[in-house]
Amino acid sequence: MNLKTAKLPVLMCLLLMMILAAGCVKNNLAAEVNGEKITMEQYNRRVDGVKANFEQQGVDFESEKELADNIKERVLDEMIEEILVRQQAKKKGVEPSKEEIDKKIKEIKDSYQTEAEYKKALKENKISERELRDIIYNELAANNLYQKVTAGVKEATDEQAEDYYRQNKDRFKIPERLNTRHILFFVNEDNQKNIPVKRSDEEARKLAQQVIDSLNRGADFAELAKEKSEDLGTKDKGGFYSFVPELGMTDPGYTKAAQALAEGEYTKEPVRSRYGYHVIKLEKRIPAQVRSFNEVQGFIKEQLTREAKMEYYRSFMADVREKADIKKYINE
């Protein structure tokens, strides 16, 4: 027997064992960031917690495979970013204190009626109190670092604010608003449970017409609304309803009828909406206008300053990430 040949299988076995051993060590890690490790246990628990939140909103991951993959990728990137932030907060001397974290924990606990409800919420979100402390630590570290890094960013000037205002006047437009009163009679031919009366289209129309007849004889609109309207949200306010047509949140039939009225006028015929029949009065038409620069100057300066700080912070963190030694093992 050739001794060299005999040793070959032994050497191959040893080599294979070394490769498997190295793989086991690596497989226990999701990533490393400047030598700081993210274990697979930490990573998997975070993924499970995020997925639990989605599941509470009705997401079925059996049919949402792509979403599950996106969550896994995003979670790893977030965990890497958190480590980079913690490392920078420590480097710049702005780590959150134990007292700050304890205060936040107490605020969260106090938002629940009992300790049991608090612990139930932790369980539902698949996190321990220790992990909650870590989450709070990360949030405070990020805020402290942001404040430290952006402290030197100058506040936006009046000139910059004025330039922004001139170029973006449409953003400061206040759309037309209509102040109306109305009296509603429901149509409920299908006996829908959320409508308190059963009534045909023709019956509701006749009731609305009777109100118009009373108004024609000089009756007070607000008093009639309090007496006869079936809209419980406006009835006690004399039928008062204010809305912005541009937003499209009011029934189209109601909107069209109200827009056609002059101030002080009421509809001479019942108006059909998806709810039933209305009698509508236009109290006041508040025209569209643009806020003056003096009204919005402070807001614009705050916004421009905030954007400048955020851009500076993003650039800072991008540079930190580029210079960091990051090793991802999750896809290997």
Q: Which domains does the chain have, with CATH numbers?
A: 29-166+293-332 (1.10.4030.10), 176-287 (3.10.50.40)
Decide the pairing of beta strands 177-186 and 276-286. Answer: antiparallel
Looking at residue 14, its pLDDT comes to: 42
Separation CA 322–CA 53 (nearest Å): 31
Query: Over the stretch 157-204, which tens digit does the pLDDT of each residue have?
Result: 999 999 999 999 999 999 999 999 999 999 987 777 677 788 999 999
Query: Which pair of structure tokens corresponds to residue 75?
Result: 């979670």
**Rg, Å, the chain Cα set:** 33
Q: Mean pLDDT across the chain, nearest whole number?
A: 90
Residues 95 and 141 sit within 8 Å (Cβ to Cβ):
yes
Query: Over the stretch 37-85, which tens digit does the pLDDT of each residue have?
Result: 999 999 998 898 888 888 888 888 877 888 988 999 999 999 999 999 9
Residues 121 and 112 sit within 8 Å (Cβ to Cβ):
yes
Quote the pTM value: 0.69
Residues 317 and 81 sit within 8 Å (Cβ to Cβ):
yes
Looking at residue 68, its pLDDT comes to: 86
